[in-house]
Structures are given as C-alpha cells and as structure tokens.
Amino acid sequence: MTTAASALFTHVPPYAGDPILSLMESFQADTRADKVSLSIGVYFDNAGRLPMLPSVRRAETALLSNIGPRPYLPIEGMAAYRSAVQTLLLGAEHEAVTGGRVATLQTLGGSGALKVGADFLHRYYPESNVWVSDPTWENHHAMFAGAGLKVDTYPYYDPATGGLRFDAMLAKLRTLPRHSVVLLHACCHNPTGVDLSDAQWQELIPVLRDGGLIPFVDIAYQGFGDGLVEDTFALRAMADAGLQFLIANSFSKNFSMYGERCGGLSVVCADRATTEAVLGQLKATVRANYSTPPTHGARVIERVLNDAELFAMWTAETAEMRGRIRAMREQLHAALNAIFQGRHNVDYLLSQRGMFSYTGLNKTQVAQLRDDHAVYLVGSGRLCVSGLTTDNVEHVARAMAAVME
Ligand code: LMR
C-alpha cells in the first residue's frame, strides 16, 4: 500500500503580479476599440506599432545569409559588442577606455546588468546599502533587495513643481556613509522624466567623489533624451572627474529589440590590474547565474554599432524616435491646455524628458482612466509618452481632463 506524499509548496503565496508588466496583460485582454496603452516603457510608432528599425533589418538580413553555427559565447560576451558598448557610452578615445580601465560584460538587457552589478556589489561591499531616487523604476527595489542589499531612497521628484529636489538630493547624499551605492539615471529618468541638467551633474560629481560613494548609473533610454552622445554627459563627466562607477546600459528601447535581451554592464576602475580582477569576478557572477549570454541579438547590435553606414542609419532612427516623443509631448500639452484654459498647469510635459512623464494623477484617477476611458497608465501616475499617437492624443487629453476635474 502506498501513502500519498504530503503536499509540497502549499505555503507558496500567489504572485500579486508586476505593477508594470501585469498591465500589459490587462491591456491585451481589453476588448474596447479605443484602448490606449501608456503604461509599459516601450516605443511605438505613430501607427501604434512596435517598429522594426531598418538598420536592424539590414544587419539581420546580412547575418541570416551567413548565419553559421552557435558556439557558446565567452562568459563576458562578444568582444566586438563589448568594445562597441564602451565606445557608445564613453567614446572610443576616452582615457578610461584606451587605458583599459573599463570592465564590460554583455548582459541580458539592462536588467541583467543591474542584477549582475548588484550581486557583485553585495559580495564585495556587503555592508553597503543602495540609495535610489524617490521614486525610481519599481524593479530597482526588487532587484537590489533580491541581491541582498538594503534599499533606501534619496529625495528626487518634487510633486509641487513636477521638477527636481536637487538641493534636498545633494543634502541627503552628503550624509551617506562611505561606500554607499547610489543608483542614478543618466537620462530620461524612469518614472518621472525629470533629469539633472549638465550643470547639476557637475555639482553632484564632487559630492559622490568626496563622500567615497559608489555610483551605479542606469542608462536604459540612451538617444531618447537629447541625443546618443548628449545623453551620456553624466557618464563622461564622471569618468573625466576620475570617478570609479558602474554603468548598466540597455539596447531594448533604442534598438527596438526588447525580446533579444541585450545590454551591458561596465565598471570603470582605477587601473588596468583592478579592471582585470573586476572583470574576472563579474564573469564568476555570470557563470553562477546563467553561465553565458545568448548570441543572436548581440550579433545584430554589434554589426550596427561597428559598421559606419549602419551606425549612421541607426543614429537617424533614434533621432526620429526622439523627435516623435517630443512632438507627442507638445501635442498632449496643447490638447490639455485647450481644455483647461489655465485651470491646471501641465508644463511638466514639456520640461520632463524621454519616454515618461509623471502626471501626478493618483491611484483612483489612474483606475478611472482605465475603467472609464480605456487609457492605461502605471498606478504611480507614470505616463509613457511614446504610446501617444496623433490619432489617440485628443482622446487621452479628454480622458485625463475627465478624471482631473
Ligand atoms: C518600464 O519601466 O516600463 C520598462 O523598463 C519595462 C519594464 O520592464 O518595466
């Protein structure tokens, strides 16, 4: 006679769902014809479609005719991809790059870079907390906490102005213990769209340096702010000032290649020997997680970044996406102003940059937008500007006005 095994896993609680990704599922299940997704940080074109960039198509077509076998990549990823990442972030001529002071890994998107970086920091700075902006991308909290770091916040967004609490931010960072990790967004802050000006970065850098802090810079929207090079101002200024820091970069948005999971983790170190040791330990971290990165997306991106003609095409494509995002900011601003006639100030739409704006709408208003008007924002009030089109912007403006007045 056999005895039934006692039930396992019955204590596992149900997953509440991710605050951003679960909205995509609700949106897809919504049958209303006029539904608008302004939740997930994905760039859509003016027809509401996910673009396939011509530079990517051309690189991929060339690869397909010569696809070849797929050996394991090295743990750290493809060499040509990794050096292209350094060039894109810091410039090929930067002394940190030419001096061999940057350890770069190919990672599974920007998220993979954050996770590997968080594991590495927790191992070598186990006493350090990580400080993130208030607010930040929800998953920053989950990732750093998941890697064992305690997560705290520094002041950032000012709901009264829709801008930055720069003095309060600096004041807080000045009080942090040495070797505290400070998570920063290089451009196109997620979720607020509120960025530091170049002058503010220059003021922040001595605070980071003099406080012995460890900056970890997330750059997931390069090219969507002011330009591919302009958006790296903070990275280059930090490297120029001799800071040692980590960079997590993503190609999901600027290549419109979300599912290929391509990104990079770069650690700017003091000298070549330290860089080699750091790269080695980053490899050990990857090996113990997912072993080695995948090939296809990295091959495509490497080809675009390292071919002058394809790179020029891609630069123009990012400019077009950036231009459309700006145009939609202006159109939503104009449509709301036409309705409000001065009753509400929505100038934040113009001062904030990149894919996101923080509308200040509360959870109830966000729920009303979804339930009554089929307009999906994230619960925090974050609006993804690149989900707006010339066809839906008036509907969105009317819906926002209906829940605000
Ligand atoms: C977002 O913030 O919407 C994007 O970064 C996508 C994601 O994974 O959350």
Q: Where are the beta strands (DSSP E) in 301-397?
A: 356-358, 375-376, 382-384
What's the start-to-end Cα distance of the chain, in Å?
70
pLDDT tier for residue 19 given thresholds of 50, 70 and 90: confident
- The pLDDT confidence band at residue 4, using thresholds 50, 70 and 90, is confident
pLDDT of residue 2: 57
Between the alpha carbon of residue 279 and those of residues 9, 107, 110, 269, 400, the distances in Å are 38, 13, 17, 10, 48
Q: Average the pLDDT over 123-151 and give the result.
A: 97
Q: What is the pLDDT of residue 1?
A: 53
C-alpha span between 47 and 45 (Å, rounded): 5
Measured in Å, residue 75 CA sits from the centre of ligand 1 at: 26
Task: Give the Å distance between the CA of 191 and the centre of ligand 1.
Answer: 9
Mean per-residue pLDDT over the chain, rounded: 96
Ligand 1 atom closest to residue 111's alpha carbon, by position in its atom list: 8
Q: Report the atom number in ligand 1 closest to the C-alpha of 110.
A: 5
Active site residue 172: no
State the number of CA atoms in the 13 A half-sphere of 324 facing the CB.
19
Between the CA of 20 and the centroid of ligand 1 the distance, in Å, is 7
314 belongs to the catalytic site: no
Instruction: Give the Cα separation of 30 and 39 in Å (integer).
Output: 14
Confidence of residue 400 (pLDDT cuts 50, 70, 90): very high
* φ and ψ at residue 217, rounded to 5 degrees: -105, 125
CA 259 from centroid of its chain's CA atoms: 15
> Distance from the CA of 126 to the center of ligand 1, in angstroms?
28
Query: Residue of the nearest CA to atom 9 in ligand 1?
Result: 20
Nearest to 201 by CA among 214, 220, 186: 186
* Model confidence band, residue 5 (pLDDT cutoffs 50, 70, 90): confident
> How far away, in angstroms, is 67 Cα from ligand 1 center?
31
Split at pLDDT 50, 70, 90, the class of 322 is very high
How do residues 228-262 score in pLDDT, each as one tens digit? 999 999 999 999 999 999 999 999 999 999 999 99
Q: Where are the beta strands (DSSP E) in 91-170?
A: 102-108, 130-134, 151-155, 157-158, 163-164
For ligand 1, residues with CB inside 6 Å are 20, 40-41, 137, 139, 190
Cα(194)–Cα(60) distance, rounded to whole angstroms?
35
CB contact at 8 A, 164 and 213: no
Name the phi and psi angles at 368, rounded to 5: -65, -40
The pLDDT tens digits of the residues spanning 94-112 come to: 999 999 999 999 999 999 9
Active-site residue, from 115, 172, 253, 283 = 253
User: Is 131 a known active-site residue?
Assistant: no
Q: Considering the entire predicted model, what is its pTM?
A: 0.96
- Listed in sequence order, the residues at least 6 apart from 44 whose beta carbon sits closer than 8 Å to its beta carbon are 50, 51, 386, 387, 389
Predicted confidence at residue 55, as pLDDT, reads 98
Residue with the smallest CA separation from ligand 1 atom 5 is: 41
Q: For the residues of 6-55, what is the DSSP string, one character each?
A: PPPSTTPPPP---TTHHHHHHHHH---TT-EE--SS----TTS-----HH
Q: Whose CA is nearest to atom 6 of ligand 1?
A: 41
